[in-house]
Amino acid sequence: MTPALLAMTVEELTDAVQQLGHPAYRARQLADWVYAKAVTDPAAMTNLPKALAQGFDILTSRVVARADGRDGTIKLLIELADGERIECVMMPSPKRVTACLSTQVGCSMACVFCASGMEGLRRNLSAGEILEQILHLSQACKRRITNAVFMGVGEPLANYDATIAAVRALVDPQRFNISARHVTVSTVGLPKKIRRLAREGLPITLAISLHAPNDALRKQLLPTAGGTPIADILAAAQEFFEAHKREITIEYVLLGGVNDSMVCADALAKLARTIRCNVNLIRFNPVDPSTLVPPTIATVKAFAQRLGKRGVNVHVRRPRGRDVAAACGQLRRNRPLQSDSR
């Protein structure tokens, strides 16, 4: 079995290159092709012996379908080596290119507003499988990825070791070289894992998928994760803030007639003022077969204004890729897509 290149640190890659009989500097050249240029074809690595690159597994997955949104968003359906499938998304803007990454095949959290958990959890992704999404997306958009958000299929902190290994590769100056401040890990709120993350020495952004202002409603919306008291989650999040002085992001999907009342806004504001945070409001993106509906634009605006008047730093997230089911909550483990060779 050939070694998986993306799973290696640069030091490990150097050792492996030398074990194959090549000088150490070839490891830096190989890493430059893969990480800086997103080149995965050994034949295109013109300054390397072809046998060297062929001695490693660079990609174990393949793109089986692509969907292009009107706003420039690109969604890829990726088939893994064992035949399982995941989705990942690239969201471009003039000054940055953001990759939305999956960490599991399916999800066990079963959030009622999210397509990712509708088929349950199949397995965790390896760190290499997470990182391969970066290469696929970079090749698809022909631009370097500058930002990464762990907000695709799966609960990142439930696949803790692989997620952290992937984050370390992303922020490593000798690998993907993405600023830690441009990496966000989103979680439904696993307090022990959040506290562990605080000790990793990674000054990334932590996002808490809250979605309800009280424990009773949260239990209904997030059946698996909702049993953890909100107070425990926010206490752990505050510890992360104290460790890195990085404000927490609270994510709140607004569901029409469910959690979008002014009473909910007041309760959310009270929670948000207990920690250093920003609140991101997300208008629900419809998913089949859910009967949930998005609130009106006017309701979203009123909810945001209510939070702002109560001293909360609030933003309304602009939906990206909704026309190709690539927006927040719409990614799935498996679906038929039209192949796109562009």
What are the residues whose beta carbons fall under 8 Å from the beta carbon of 103, sequence distance 6 or more?
Answer: 124, 125, 130, 150, 152, 153, 154, 155, 156, 159, 162, 163, 166
Per the listing, tokens 């959290």 go with: 109
Q: Identify whether 328 is a catalytic site residue.
A: yes
Strand, coil or helix: 12: helix
CA distance 132 to 172: 16
d(C-alpha 250, C-alpha 268), whole Å: 10
Q: Which of 87, 129, 132, 155 is the catalytic position?
A: 87
Task: Select from 286, 201, 187, 208 the least CA-distant residue to 244.
Answer: 201
At residue 271, φ and ψ (nearest 5 deg) are -65, -45
Give 78's strand partners.
63, 86
CA distance 254 to 125: 29
Query: Which sign does the torsion angle of CA 150, 153, 158, 160 carry?
Result: negative
Q: Which of 114, 141, 264, 328 is catalytic?
A: 328
Supply the residues annotated as catalytic.
87, 328
